A and B are shown apart, each in its own frame.
Chain A
Amino acid sequence: MTDLALGRPAADRDHVLRLLQTYGVYLGVAVLLLVNILFTPHFLSGENFRTQAVQVAPVLIVALGMALAIGSEGVDLSVGSVMALSTSLISLYLGYGVWVALVVAVLGGMAVGAANGSLVAFIGVQPIVATLALMVAGRGLALVLLPQLKDVRDPNMASLGSGALLGIPYPVLIAAALALLVAFVVRRTTFGRQLLAIGDSRPAAQLAGLPVRRVLVLVYVASGALAAIAGLLATARLSASDPTSLGNLMELSAITAVVVGGTPLSGGRVRIGGTVAGAVLIQLLTATLIKHDLPPSWTQIAQAVVIVLAVYAARERSKR
């Protein structure tokens, strides 16, 4: 946050490096866009952009919650399972009306988040283990509630998944609204400042009298709620509930988006704009490779390389 206030006369190379660290992810997105515009046929069509945006929406929403968890020096591995739980709950409660189902799904996600948060905040379990336990148990619970794939036939759900306002699909609008909301919360609210303070140094925050436990529980509840929303959007788009595979490896995609976006894993900083760009970057990378007929294996290898490069670049920043 106080990068420039150190007063050290920055050499040109340092300066460029720092700019690259801060804005590298946007540069990456721009380069990928440019490459695609030049080399990919039919890339510049509204339809294509709409498809890409709809595909990135769930990852983006999950990544927002993940950014909060990582900002508090934690991590939330249970997000994929929360998506599965949310899709199971929707199927179960759709009989009571679509709104009841949606509310129950989000409440389910918040309950998992509350469990995560309590383990982390009150018992002092490391976030990675606490959310690992909920990740295993959450997926199991989702499968107990709904053992196999089930079609979701509901006009409201269908319109949520494929409807659009002014040509922009609902999932994209919801993702954008949530990104703005989370950015506002991080930057402009007491909760956001407290979260960053705790991520910077939990003992210091505690000594300063911040409500550390309450804030931590809220962070994981928010992450759970966002994952549940992503789950219900994915359900609406697929018009089916598939608790076996929905959200698989989602925690990895979300962590990748956050890390590539420049949020340090050591906590104390959250970059929402970067997270959005990170999610878009991964989506564009995948789409580019697929459109040029490269097999999925290459996509995964490329993703691995991007993660390592992003973390390697961020390393310099944390060393200063």
Chain B
Amino acid sequence: MTTGTTSPADPVRTPAHPGADAPTPDRAARSERLSALAQQHGALVTLVVAVIVASLSFDTFLTADNMENMAVSSAFLAVVALGMTFVIVTGGIDLSVGSLFALGGVLAAWGSRYGTAVALLLPLAVCGLVGLVNGLLIARSRLAPFIVTLAAMLGARGIMLAVTDEGSKTYLVDKDTFFATLGQGKILGIGAPVWITVALFVAGAVVLRRTRFGQYVYAVGGNEDAAALMGAPVARTKIAVYTLSGLCAGLAGALNAAWLVSGVTILGSGMELEAISAVVIGGTLLTGGFGFISGSLVGVLLLKVIQNVINQIGSLDSAYQQVVSGAFLAVVVIAQTWLGRRRRVL
């Protein structure tokens, strides 16, 4: 489980024979650096290889159209994965993002008739509030993140269905509004959602790496009790990351609604799993305390490239995409566990 504080399930932490075959310090340091490098950049290398192979195999892969398409369709998942990265680095998990994505989209489309401000602020307020409640239940009442966000997933989808007349009503966005431009517009030939996503990732990376809050996030994920003793505001940090994750999911839903110019109700189911996969593939440890924002972006792109390649092979059913993604996730976690074990033994 991902309760974060206690993880006795991990057998590698029990020192069976400490230092039985410890290499010399020099070699140990190098080996540790190597496995850290593999963990940080493994996904990036795989992505580069995948892109090279795909562009050699398919003439249609490396076209501007296809690239732009992939970038825009990655943007929404990427924003969700951004929030998820913060949550996972604290050692938690957020299963409610898929439902919040759908809810955000519907609320944005409904609100767009009252102007861009409402279209953006309404989903942010509602989804942020759900995230805040998640955070309060997890941090203050000490309930397991897994189960709280699971309930929020059901609850948020319920609210979304209630708002849309049991999912039968699709609110449309007026194409001439500024809100629709946020999804449809292009700057330098690249879709607005892509620019927004890039900006958010830069901001996210700075926050996680360079601010006090970011250091608290790592500290809480590394060892909650130690962080508390050190004086880190554990509960406040946790509440903040779940709120942030809710906000990201709501914003991604709103942008997606602007892109599709409608609030589609059937979206978002299974998205939480895609986002978690992307974060894990990007090198962030689900046990918390270790991870980086850029990795999650690479993870999202890698998933989308796999999807795109499988779509390009016309004869292959899109179901193969799930098989490949699942198998890939398994390979990544096996590699991570193996690398993590090496690093911890040293």
Which residues in B have their C-beta under 8 angstroms from that of A134? 326, 330
Q: From residue B172, how far is it (CB to closest CB) to chain A in Å?
A: 21
B39-47, B72-80, B158-166, B192-200 - interface stretch? B158-166
Residue of chain B at shortest CB distance from A267: B1
Say yes or no: is B187 at the interface (Cβ < 8 Å to chain A).
no
Bound-complex Cα distance A295 to B157 (A): 13
B9-17, B60-68, B210-218, B251-259 - interface stretch? B9-17
Q: B155 contacts A305, CB within 8 Å?
A: yes
B29-37, B239-247, B333-341 - interface stretch? B333-341
Interface size class of B (residues with CB under 8 A): 35 or more
Q: A137 contacts B327, CB within 8 Å?
A: yes
Say yes or no: is A297 at the interface (Cβ < 8 Å to chain B).
yes
Say yes or no: is A104 at the interface (Cβ < 8 Å to chain B).
no
Question: Which of B93, B153, B161, B273 contacts A136, CB < 8 Å?
Answer: B273
Chain A 183-217 interface 0/1 with B at a Cβ cutoff of 8 Å (1 = within): 00000000000000000011100110000100000
Contact residues of A: prevailing secondary structure: helix
Q: B158 contacts A125, CB within 8 Å?
A: no
Which residues in A have their C-beta under 8 angstroms from that of B269? 248
Residue of chain B at shortest CB distance from A144: B319
Chain A 235-261 interface 0/1 with B at a Cβ cutoff of 8 Å (1 = within): 000000000000010001001100100
Bound-complex Cα distance A129 to B7 (A): 14
Say yes or no: is B21 at the interface (Cβ < 8 Å to chain A).
no
Q: A128 contacts B146, CB within 8 Å?
A: yes
Say yes or no: is A285 at the interface (Cβ < 8 Å to chain B).
no
Say yes or no: is B286 at the interface (Cβ < 8 Å to chain A).
yes
Q: Known contacts being A304-B154, A308-B137, is A297 close to B159, with CB within 8 Å? A: yes
Q: From residue B7, how far is it (CB to closest CB) to chain A in Å?
A: 8
Bound-complex Cα distance A305 to B325 (A): 33
Question: Which of B147, B287, B319, B324 contacts A255, CB < 8 Å?
Answer: B147
Question: Which of A144, A206, A304 contacts B11, CB < 8 Å?
Answer: A206
Q: B11 contacts A125, CB within 8 Å?
A: no
Q: B147 contacts A311, CB within 8 Å?
A: yes
Bound-complex Cα distance A125 to B340 (A): 11
Say yes or no: is A156 at the interface (Cβ < 8 Å to chain B).
no
Q: B273 contacts A135, CB within 8 Å?
A: yes
Q: Known contacts being A124-B337, A147-B319, is A136 close to B146, with CB within 8 Å? A: no
Which residues in A have their C-beta under 8 angstroms from that of B325? 136-137, 140
Bound-complex Cα distance A128 to B287 (A): 11
Q: A265 contacts B11, CB within 8 Å?
A: no
Q: From residue A150, how far is it (CB to closest CB) to chain B in Å?
A: 15
Say yes or no: is B223 at the interface (Cβ < 8 Å to chain A).
no
Say yes or no: is B2 at the interface (Cβ < 8 Å to chain A).
yes
Within 8 A of A (CB), among B158-209: 158-162, 166
Bound-complex Cα distance A299 to B319 (A): 31
Q: From residue B136, how far is it (CB to closest CB) to chain A in Å?
A: 11
Residue of chain A at shortest CB distance from B338: A123
Say yes or no: is A101 at the interface (Cβ < 8 Å to chain B).
no
Bound-complex Cα distance A295 to B164 (A): 12
Say yes or no: is A162 at the interface (Cβ < 8 Å to chain B).
no
Say yes or no: is A54 at the interface (Cβ < 8 Å to chain B).
no
Q: From residue B286, how far is it (CB to closest CB) to chain A in Å?
A: 6
Question: Which of B3, B11, B143, B144 contacts A124, CB < 8 Å?
Answer: B11
Q: From residue B333, how far is it (CB to closest CB) to chain A in Å?
A: 5
Q: A301 contacts B158, CB within 8 Å?
A: yes
Say yes or no: is A34 at the interface (Cβ < 8 Å to chain B).
no
Most buried by B among A144, A202, A300: A300
Q: A304 contacts B166, CB within 8 Å?
A: no
Say yes or no: is B266 at the interface (Cβ < 8 Å to chain A).
no
Q: From residue B266, how far is it (CB to closest CB) to chain A in Å?
A: 12
Q: Known contacts being A301-B159, A304-B154, is A136 close to B322, with CB within 8 Å? A: yes
Q: From residue B201, how far is it (CB to closest CB) to chain A in Å?
A: 23
Q: From residue B281, how far is it (CB to closest CB) to chain A in Å?
A: 11
Say yes or no: is B226 at the interface (Cβ < 8 Å to chain A).
no
Which residues in A have their C-beta under 8 angstroms from that of B317? 143-144, 147
Q: A315 contacts B273, CB within 8 Å?
A: no
Q: A202 contacts B8, CB within 8 Å?
A: yes
Q: A312 contacts B143, CB within 8 Å?
A: yes
Q: B1 contacts A265, CB within 8 Å?
A: yes
Q: B333 contacts A130, CB within 8 Å?
A: yes
Q: Known contacts being A136-B273, A255-B150, A304-B151, is A128 close to B326, with CB within 8 Å? A: no
Say yes or no: is B232 at the interface (Cβ < 8 Å to chain A).
no
Which residues in A have their C-beta under 8 angstroms from that of B236? none
Which residues in A have their C-beta under 8 angstroms from that of B10? 124
Chain B 120-147 interface 0/1 with A at a Cβ cutoff of 8 Å (1 = within): 0000000000000000010001111011
Q: A308 contacts B151, CB within 8 Å?
A: yes
Bound-complex Cα distance A308 to B9 (A): 25
Which residues in A have their C-beta under 8 angstroms from that of B58? none
Which residues in B have their C-beta under 8 angstroms from that of A142? 319
Residue of chain A at shortest CB distance from B96: A304
Q: A143 contacts B322, CB within 8 Å?
A: yes
Q: B154 contacts A301, CB within 8 Å?
A: yes
Bound-complex Cα distance A123 to B330 (A): 11
Question: Which of A75, A129, A140, A256 contacts B320, CB < 8 Å?
Answer: A140
Say yes or no: is B280 at the interface (Cβ < 8 Å to chain A).
yes
Say yes or no: is B51 at the interface (Cβ < 8 Å to chain A).
no
Q: A266 contacts B3, CB within 8 Å?
A: yes
**9 A-B contacts (beta carbon < 8 Å):** A136-B322, A137-B326, A140-B320, A143-B317, A297-B157, A303-B158, A304-B155, A308-B151, A315-B142
B interface residue numbers (CB < 8 A to A): 1-3, 8-14, 93, 137, 141-144, 146-148, 150-155, 157-162, 166, 269, 273, 276-277, 280, 286-287, 317, 319-327, 329-330, 333-334, 337-338, 341
20 more A-B contacts (CB under 8 A) besides A129-B280, A139-B322?
A74-B1, A123-B334, A127-B1, A128-B1, A128-B2, A133-B330, A141-B319, A143-B322, A144-B320, A202-B8, A203-B8, A255-B147, A297-B161, A298-B158, A301-B159, A301-B162, A304-B153, A305-B151, A307-B150, A311-B147
Across the A-B interface, give the 3 residue pairs with the lowest CB-CB distance, nearest first. A137-B326, A140-B322, A300-B158
